[in-house]
Structure 1
Amino acid sequence: MTQQLLDDLDEARAKEKMGRSEMIMEATQQFLRQKKARDLRDEMERGYTEMASINFSIACECTHVESEAEDKNLQVLGG
């Protein structure tokens, strides 16, 4: 750690009336919670992106079935 960072830490610690170890522990816990949330968000984004591609492929494969169903409905309903 640089001296400037230690000085900033000591200044913040004095304002919060905490020990250095306690402040470092809280900062580390907060960092780890935020990292876990970022990692989960990234993993979900990858999953949704992958599923979008799969869903699009399925939709494209079923276009002809949708068209047939629409034609059949028009025939049955007299349209």
Structure 2
Amino acid sequence: MYTNMLKHGSALRGCIAVADLRRIMVSVPSSLLDEVDVFGRTLGLNRSEVVREAVRMFMTEHARSELGKKLKAGYSEMASINSQMAEECAAAEEEAFVNYERFLAGGD
């Protein structure tokens, strides 16, 4: 699936204008650079395209992870609030149920 995304233009989404590109220098082990080159050749991408897509994917995954952490914390917080509300309403619900049973039985 990943290679299909890259082959079908995901790495080049948004048609980057040459004027928008900035050159950076990045130090990587030669073995990693060899892997990048092989990977790029397999997908028909140059080094820059592979690195751009890798950075995009890394940042997207990081954002997803952070959102997941925030959601988990929010759900945990809401769980305790919901539990507290349920406890506070339990007595009122019990009283309403007793009154309903009396009503059904024909009593006031």
**Residue of structure 1 equivalent to 2:89:** 62
For structure 1, list consecutive stretches of 5 or more residues without a partner in the other structure. none
How many residues align structurally? 79
Whether 1:21 aligns to 2:58 is no
Deviations 1:11-51 (A, max 9, x none): 11111221111110011111111111111111111101100
The gaps in structure 2 that reach 5 residues or longer are: 1-27
User: Which ranges of 4 or more aligned residues in structure 1 deviate by more than 6 Å?
Assistant: none
Structure 1 length as normaliser, TM-score?
0.91
Looking at secondary structure, tell me which structure has more helix per residue: 1
SS state of the match for residue 52, structure 2?
helix
Q: TM-score, normalised by structure 2?
A: 0.68
Alpha-carbon distance in 2 for matches of 1:15, 1:63: 63
Which residue does 2:20 correspond to in 1?
A: none
Higher relative contact order (CA 8 A, sep 6+): 2
The letter of the residue matching 2:56 is Q
Superposed CA RMSD in Å reads: 1.3
Which residue is 1:74 aligned to? 101
Q: Kindly, what percent of the aligned residue pairs are identical?
A: 34
